[in-house]
Chain A
Amino acid sequence: MKKQLIISLFLLFSTLLFSQENVTGKITFDDNQPLPGANIYWQNTQIGAVSDDKGNFSIPFTAENTFLVISYVGFQTVTLTITEPKSITQNLEFDNTLDEVTLTKVRKSLQKNYMAAANVQTMTSKELLKAACCNLSESFETNPSIDVNFSDAVSGSRQIRMLGLTSPYILMTEENIPAIRGASQAYGLSFVPGTWVESIQITKGAGSVVNGFESISGQINYEMIKPQDDIPFFLNAYGSTDSRFELNTHFNKKLNDKWATSLFLHGNARVSKNDMNDDSFLDNPIGQQINMINRWQYTDAENGWVSFINFRYMNDEKQTGQVDFDPDRDRGTTNFWGSEINTEKLDISSKIGRVSTEVPWRSFGFQNAFNYHKQNSYFGLNQYDITQRSFYSNLIYNSIISNTLHKIATGLNFTYDQFDEVVNVSDFSRIDNSVGAFFEYTYCNDDDLSYVLGGRIDYHNRLGVFVTPRAHLRYKPFEKTTFRISAGRGKRSANIFAENQQLFASSRQFQILDTGGEIYGLDAEIAWNYGVSYLQGFKVFGKEAEFSVDFYRTDFQNQAIVDVDFSPQEVLFYNLDGKSFANSLQVDLSYEISTHFNVRTAYKYYDVQTDYTIGLVERPLQAKHRFFTNIAYETHVKEKGQQWKFDFTYNWLGKQRLPRTQSNPEEYRLQEFTNPFSVMNAQITRTFSKTFEIYLGAENLGNYQQENAILGSNDPFGSYFDSSMVYAPVFGAMFYTGLRFKIQ
């Protein structure tokens, strides 16, 4: 049935593939008199048109070009932003100076916002292409605000951190619907193919109250490619020396002026076993993933309606452990150590929104999402199964108070989570639900000051009734100077097993020391986050530069502590007793050395400490100092779109504290701190035409490899085995190549 559905969808799309759409319009001057002979072209391309006797023109629309330039000698040149085929009328003004000046502005790949009250930066699709591989977790490699950890030795998945805190403390949303949470926390990022993503918004510190109470260190929202803006066909194929292969195909069809649909298909596989460090364990898991989404978009601009419906299915299978492990033969035995993680996901979501046609500031939105996530896995002799069924609903209403300087957003959320969770033989199944109301007031004087005051009140069946306040303020005394402060509270229940499942791949015994709490015997986590930031734009030798510095502090009132220091044979979970905080300082400098040549550098300082059983110490596997540089260069786009792009990223990580292993026999002890090291990535993209490009890249060019990545790998069923202490690449240098093919 599934197959049939896919095939028929394929057929449907392939028949509808080739159609072209145009931007049409009329060029006028003075009092709507037609202007013949005006030049209309897409910026930086050779695609152009000339207006006819009546001033009319037609130019093919391509999703890649958004800047339409309209020029005529003696008139001021106009550049319009066009994102969809449509009809326009443009009046040109006389240019009194008669000096022809053409202003072109290249869109930046990473945009910092001078106006928003919150510290938000947007990674555009251009930035996302800098790391061609492969999924959402790798998308952040070129962004200094997010630290991407090295994949743990067993699952091969990468975790991200923001402000020194791991991803459970970041609210991840997919088009503003909470997405990577609960059961999907550990591997969820690898279930979102990079080519699906259109842009990512990163909010540091306390976020908006609109999407819930769970965010603590920040919010990351990713927008997927919208059917209305999509191109008819896209193909991306990728292969790497660690024998990973990926294939992405996108199909899009605009059915009529209101409906558009996209079908994205993704498959990846790692086919052969790698063991570069000869520890008898795979450096990364073998396995495959099938992932698909079908999106529908309805737009009725006249009446202000827009709607999305998404259907998604994913199946991911991974096998890892010792090279000689054969699941059929060795599962449940101590012949060889092995692990399998199988995940199946089904998501259905819808969004409907309407902007009032009477007054533009009034709108409402209604989002609903159903998610099914099932993970069956074992790690050696540890069995871990979790199934989560979730329903999320959000109703939001936007309007103003007295005038457009005072905006409000208010609404209701509802969340239902049913967890079926079994750890070995213990059943931790539970049902969580919460209902809440939020109100957010935004003042912006369109000039130097804006602030956001938000609050929400929630009822949660385990956490009770509580209030979540958050506030942001922005002051922009000069055109290119922005100061911000923010403060906010977050509360969440920690899914201790799902979030720390890498620890199953060790001989550690799981111990929960508290029993009185609402969830696994533990209390809810509560933290306050405070931040200040300063952003300054300036010019050096006539070229744009940007300097920013920000400082954030997260203070935990309560935290579900994960203690791997008490004993190398145990992991303890208990409520915080004492202090736990994360201070983070980031200094950024970016500079456009010349057109198409950008350098971005960042220094990051993290002071993350927690009161463990052994006292107040730094959290393990967290570098105190980090340095980041990204250099990007691209050549001018030639006639047919030919271009070279070069990208280089350098990361330096200072020493990190390792969990204590002093009580082990000497051969199973690790040093107290790791050595500092650096990792370099590079990528070259060659665009041959508007339709075809290839890329070639390398990760970990310096071939840095962590020694002894798996402790006790010679005796995985003994009491000193631990594969969770990965702080550096396990696999050495990795090279990849791929191609992109587009039909516009």
Chain B
Amino acid sequence: MKKLILVLMISLMGISVQAQEKKNKNAKYDIEVNGNCDMCKKRIEKAALSVKGVKSAVWHIDHQDLHLVLDENKTTIDQVHEAVAKVGHDTEKIKATDEAYNNLHGCCKFERKQ
């Protein structure tokens, strides 16, 4: 019986802990994304915005970074990394496949980091 109460209490606490973890509707992230030109900019931003829950995505060529605002209830930053890598651009976390990279337009073939 004691054990049962303990288990119940722990599980209850677990729930309440989870409930307390409030998710940010306008979470801001800056991630590194590599690219070259305005065409890259459009492709990167489009890919990021195609992720449901991403509200704003602005890529800066000079800083090679992507400024994001996303709703954490709907998506995670990892999904953005994946979406951007999928269209051929390396991020700080995920590298694009060689196939995706090779599909990029000539002027977009940025210098890849080793």
Give Cα A616 to B75, complex, Å. Answer: 63
* CA A339 to CA B19, docked complex, whole Å: 79
Q: Which partner residue on chain A sits nearest B26 by CB separation? A: A359
Interface size on A, residues (CB 8 A): 14
Q: Chain A, 84-103, contact with B by CB distance < 8 Å: what is the 0/1 string? A: 00000001010000000000
**Is A298 located at the chain interface by the 8 A CB criterion?**
no
Is B55 interfacial (CB 8 A cutoff)? yes
Interface string of B58-93 (1 = CB under 8 A from A): 000011000001000000000000000000000000
Q: B26 to A402, Cβ gap below 8 A?
A: no
CA of A403 to CA of B63, assembled, Å = 23
Residues 266 to 321 of chain A near chain B (Cβ within 8 Å): none
Q: How far is A405 from B47 in the complex, measured between Cα atoms in Å? A: 13
- Residue in B42, B45, B69 whose CB lies within 8 Å of A359: B69
CB within 8 Å for A405 and B49 given contacts A359-B55, A359-B56, A361-B56: yes
Which one of A91, A93, A402 has the greatest number of beta carbons of chain B within 10 Å?
Answer: A402
B54 at the A interface (CB under 8 A): yes
Q: A359–B46 Cα gap in the complex (Å)?
A: 19
A404–B62 CB distance below 8 A: no
Q: Are A404 and B26 in contact (CB under 8 A)?
A: no
Given the complex, which residues of B lie within 8 Å of A445, measured CB to CB?
Answer: 46
Give the distance to chain A from B95, nearest Cβ to Cβ, in Å. Answer: 23
Contact partner of B62 (CB less than 8 A), chosen from A93, A361, A400, A402, is A93
Q: Mark A418-459, 1 if CB is under 8 A from B, else 0.
A: 000000000000000000000000000111000000000000
The reply to whether A403 and B62 form a contact with Cβ atoms under 8 Å apart is no
- Asked if B55 and A447 sit within 8 Å, CB to CB, the answer is no
Name the CB-closest residue of A to B41.
A446
The answer to whether B49 touches A403, judged by C-beta atoms less than 8 angstroms apart, is yes
Report the bound CA distance from A581 to B75 in whole Å.
53
Shortest beta-carbon distance, A184 to chain B, in Å? 42
B26–chain A nearest beta-carbon distance, Å:
5
A359–B56 Cα distance when bound, in Å, is: 9
Q: How far is the CA of A445 from the CA of B49 in the complex (A)?
A: 10
Report the interface size for chain B: residues with CB under 8 A from the other chain: 13
Among B45, B49, B52, B63: residue with most chain A CB under 10 A? B49
CB-defined contacts of A403 to chain B, threshold 8 Å: 49, 54-57
A360 within 8 A of B: yes
Cβ–Cβ < 8 Å partners of B69 in chain A? 359
- How many whole Å from A80's CB to the nearest CB in chain B? 12
Residue contact B42 to A404, C-beta cutoff 8 Å: no
- A30, chain B: closest CB distance, angstroms: 12
Bound: A403/B26 CA distance, A: 11
Asked whether, in the complex, the Cβ of A400 is within 8 Å of the Cβ of B55, the reply is yes
Partner of B55, one of A91, A93, A402, A446: A402
B26 touching A360, Cβ below 8 Å: no
A66-92 interface (Cβ within 8 A of B):
91
Q: Is the CB of A358 within 8 A of B56?
A: no
Q: Flag if B42 contacts A446 (CB, 8 Å).
A: yes
Given contacts A403-B49, A446-B45, A447-B42, A91 and B56 within 8 Å (CB-CB): no
Closest to A360 in B: B56
Chain A residues lying within 8 Å of B45, measured Cβ to Cβ, are 446
Report the bound CA distance from A16 to B49 in whole Å.
50
A-chain residues with CB within 8 Å of residue B54 when the two chains form the complex:
403
State the Cβ distance, A741 to closest chain B Cβ, in Å.
41
Given contacts A446-B42, A446-B45, contact A91 B62 (CB under 8 A): yes
Q: Mark B31-55, 1 if CB is under 8 A from A, else 0.
A: 0000000000010011001001011
CA distance A322 to B58 in the complex (A): 67
Residues in B neighbouring A93, C-beta threshold 8 A:
62
CA A93 to CA B45, docked complex, whole Å: 22
Tell me how far the C-beta of A721 lies from the nearest C-beta in chain B, rounded to whole angstroms: 65
C-alpha spacing A402/B55, complex, angstroms: 6
Taking CB atoms, residues of chain B closer than 8 Å to A361 are 55-56
Residues of chain B within 8 A (CB-CB) of A405 are: 49
- Chain A: CB-nearest residue to B69: A359
Residues of A within 8 A of B52 (CB): 402
Contact for B26 among A91, A358, A446, A447, CB less than 8 A: A358
Give the residues in chain A near B63, CB-CB below 8 Å: 91
How close is A404's CB to chain B, nearest CB, in angstroms? Answer: 5
Pick the residue among A358, A360, A404 that contacts B49 (CB under 8 A).
Answer: A404
Query: Cβ of A359: which chain B residues have Cβ within 8 Å of it?
Result: 26, 55-56, 69
- A–B complex contacts, Cβ < 8 Å, 18 sampled: A91-B62, A359-B26, A359-B55, A359-B69, A360-B56, A400-B55, A400-B56, A402-B52, A403-B54, A403-B55, A403-B56, A403-B57, A404-B55, A404-B56, A404-B57, A405-B49, A446-B46, A447-B46
Interface residues of A (CB under 8 A from B): 91, 93, 358-361, 400, 402-405, 445-447
The 9 closest A-B pairs by CB, nearest first: A404-B56, A403-B55, A403-B49, A359-B26, A358-B26, A403-B54, A447-B42, A359-B69, A93-B62
For the complex with contacts A404-B56, A447-B46, 13 further pairs of A-B residues with Cβ separation under 8 Å are A91-B63, A360-B56, A361-B55, A402-B52, A403-B49, A403-B55, A403-B56, A403-B57, A404-B57, A405-B49, A446-B42, A446-B45, A446-B46
Question: Residues of B with Cβ closer than 8 Å to A?
Answer: 26, 42, 45-46, 49, 52, 54-57, 62-63, 69
